[in-house]
A and B are shown apart, each in its own frame.
Chain A
Amino acid sequence: MSETPTAITPRQRLRRLPGRAVGMLLVWFVVTEADIPSLVIGVPIALAAAVLSVALQPRSLSGVYLPGAIRFARFFAVNSVLGGIDVAFRALGPRMRLEPAIVHYPLRISGAFPRVFFANTISMLPGTLSSRLTSDTVEVHVLDCTRPVIEDLAQVEERVADLFGAQLSPHEGGAVL
């Protein structure tokens, strides 16, 4: 997988337009709670928003892969619950079990948007919080370094890659400091 963000041609931008327009319309429809008369304003605004968003799209393209997105949503829902329970028990327990550490995790996923998405996902999942994103690693603060943190992060990264329809090479580990 190449690391350099590919420049996108006007034709590629144009090809993104219909999907983006449908997405914007859907958001309008939901925000106005299916108010049909409001579409008089909504349709032009949604189209204008779609044109703007395609025109302003940064260099690297990252399309979402629908089956991967569904798998990601399920994974995220289950782990949000686990993350909430985990932190609740640590906060309410009489002897707060905390073994914090900083972990350097080498990134495999490419593209600016997928990387930011991965860093944000880390912060929402059990016991991990991203604190620095560089060009090749993400620095993660973990609540409990006795858990297999690197393996957990590798799994999250694979889920995020799946969401963007990408494959990852086997992970090479990171360092727990």
Chain B
Amino acid sequence: MAWQTVTDWITYALFAASGFFFFAGSVGLVRFPDVYTRLHALTKSDNLGLGLASAGLAVQSGSWVVAAKLLLIWMIVIVAGATACYLVANSARNSGVEPWTGGDR
């Protein structure tokens, strides 16, 4: 099997996994009961989904500098995502939004 084919399949696998986690995160956003649980779904799936997508692209690039650039982009998105998540959760807490605690749905 040619090297190109190997890297292509690695990329397919990473993209498929990435798509799965983005999908699961979106399902969580719709199904989870309140703002806090929805933030859980979004932050974790963004982190992992984008990480896997970046890894898939890095394999295709075949260049260390491009791979480093993708890593940098991923890190910046993670920091932005965590900060936005904190701001949403914190303002929800400050404006008295009670966390859902189960029971009637």
A-to-B contact residues, CB < 8 Å: 27, 29-31, 33-34, 80-81, 83-84, 86-88, 90-92, 96, 98-102, 119-121, 123-124, 126-127, 129-133, 139, 141, 143
Contacts and interface: CB of A to CB of B under 8 A. Distances in A.
B36 A100 contact: yes
B4 interface: no
Most buried by A among B48, B66, B93: B48
B85 A84 contact: no
Nearest to B66: A33
A91 B27 CA distance: 6
A49 B27 CA distance: 42
B39 to A, nearest CB: 6
Given A30-B65, A119-B86, A100 B100 contact: yes
Given A84-B21, A100-B99, A101-B101, A91 B32 contact: yes
Interface of B: 20-21, 24-25, 27-28, 31-34, 36-37, 39-41, 43-45, 47-49, 51, 63, 65-66, 68-69, 72, 78-79, 81-83, 85-86, 89-90, 92-94, 99-102
Contacts of B34: 100
Contact of A88 (B24, B83, B86): B24
Contacts of B36: 100, 129, 131, 141
19 contacts: A33-B69, A80-B47, A84-B45, A84-B49, A87-B41, A88-B20, A88-B28, A98-B33, A100-B100, A123-B85, A123-B89, A124-B43, A124-B44, A129-B39, A129-B89, A131-B36, A132-B89, A132-B93, A143-B40
Nearest to A35: B65
Contacts of A123: 39, 43, 82, 85-86, 89
B102 A99 contact: yes
Contacts of A127: 40
A96 B24 CA distance: 12
B65 A87 contact: no
A73 B89 CA distance: 25
